[in-house]
Structure 1
């Protein structure tokens, strides 16, 4: 049977976001946060904020995330996003703020507000920093770069596309790189076996995925989630294309050349020529 996709958000939650799989989550978080020795997370509580009901599985706009908190109150929210909706920066701040504001009740001391760490694992390039697949953001002073206002804000972006393009991977020494290799949809059986031999935590996570693949109900929900994610990707792609074409029409109306419009709208020249032809109903020849 073909391996279930670890980054299908339904499978991700089943593998990392349930009470019986929280050891997998602890191992993953320690790798993302570069926790070592005495600072390592050893326990946490899974926050079951969403029931994986069929309605949520089939919801094209629904988000299935993983929530957890530690004994000191630190909150974690992990979201897997496979399609670029061009809003991850603002969306992650929204979810961060929502979780942060839940930390105290009205009238309580602000000092009781917990640290909230949001982690976005995305299957596309998003952060405009080349050759860096894992970026972390805090509240630093603009000029005095080593002064942090507070540590309650921590936001991670992990970009799978950039990781795939990384030429010199160091799987033996870098635990996060091992996890990201494990998440690859196209990983070979030989590579996967090598990872499991190298890392007992990855072996446990893969054994969970193998178990899930043998459960008929899980398989049914997985396939339904795959369909809804595919439909959402198509919906987003159509919306992006329509926006680009609207920009192209506006730029053409302003008298810009086909080449300028193609650059401004990020559409192929051929597509811009087609749009202009429909607008003018006359043949258009591109400049060489």
Structure 2
């Protein structure tokens, strides 16, 4: 059966749902459900997703979504479609840019605004084999000392292991549950489940409906969907312990399948120079 709605794990689908000006209410609602902050996010401003290091030798970073709320807090929201080498290191590296950009010229008291790095993962971690955390969906990480006490509360990493979310419609008991159910199953819906009756989700389904797309958008989506399927097909079967040679094999296979260079770099951890040489 042909899909009625976009696949939110594609680059096009993810940005359509959460990365456009018209999608801002959905992104705000999703972040408020995820973060459960006392002070809810009222507004967001999208920022430049391309980040450059301070020197020519620093690597360029391109976020999926980068935004700032009315209090100046920074939010990086990344979609990760398949396992890659040094994934956690990459997330930590990404978090240094919104920290460094807060530096002020002249005398400055180093009072930083909070930074949140959120990863929506279409795979599961390998770290928790035979541990209780293995079935968790939401992993929230902060800097703590040896006694488990928060050392610094303004840097937060949140990873959502989407394959671990297995709740059915009648089991959804929170706003976050609804968003995770929406993201996990959107492409499979033929009708809108009764539980999604409020205005925010009505908007989300309207933005996701393929019948409302023009031909240019449909072409862009189909290309993004092909890249997603190629990526999943190659990496899900070929990913191993993260050795450089294996990364090059994966990158070469992706390149031969016509996957975009930016996606290859993002998925393998290789540099553009390394990919160009393949």
Matches within 5 A, 1:19-168: 19-35=21-37, 39-49=39-49, 65-105=64-104, 107=106, 109-126=108-125, 128=128, 129-143=133-147, 145=148, 147-164=149-166, 166=167
Secondary structure of the residue aligned to 2:41 is coil
Looking at both structures, which has the greater relative contact order when contacts are Cα pairs under 8 Å and sequence separation is at least 6?
2
Distance 2:208 2:10 in 1: 11
The separation in 1 between residues aligned to 2:95 and 2:224, in whole angstroms, is 25
Q: State TM-score, norm by structure 1.
A: 0.69
* Higher Cα Rg, which structure: 1
| Greater helix content | 1
**Structure 2 gap segments, 5+ residues each:** 51-60, 247-278
Q: What is the CA distance between 1:184 and its match in structure 2?
A: 2.1
Decide which moves more: 235-244 or 89-98: 235-244
Q: Partners in 2 of 1:152 and 1:72 — Cα distance? A: 13
Say which SS state the counterpart of residue 117 (structure 1) adopts: strand
Q: 1:122 Cα deviation (Å)?
A: 0.4
Contact in 2 for aligned 1:43/1:70 (Cα 8 Å): yes
Structure 1 unaligned spans of 5+:
51-61, 248-288
Cα distance change, pair 243–96 in 1 and its aligned pair in 2 (3 A): closer
- Contact map agreement 2:49 2:62 (CA 8 A) in 1: no
> What's the counterpart of residue 194 of structure 2?
194
In structure 2, relative to structure 1, the CA distance for the partners of 1:210 and 1:188 (3 Å cut) is closer
Residues 73-98 of structure 1: CA distance to partner in whole angstroms, max 9, x if unpaired? 10000011121114321111011112
Q: Secondary structure at the match of 1:149?
A: strand
1:14 aligns with 2:16: yes
Establish whether residue 228 from structure 1 lines up as the match of residue 206 from structure 2. no
**Aligned residue pairs, count:** 227
Q: After the TM superposition, which parts of structure 1 deviate over 6 Å for at least 4 consecutive aligned residues?
A: none
Cα displacement string for residues 101-124 of structure 1 (whole angstroms, at most 9, x for unaligned residues):
122245452524321101001011
Query: Normalising by structure 2, what TM-score?
Result: 0.71
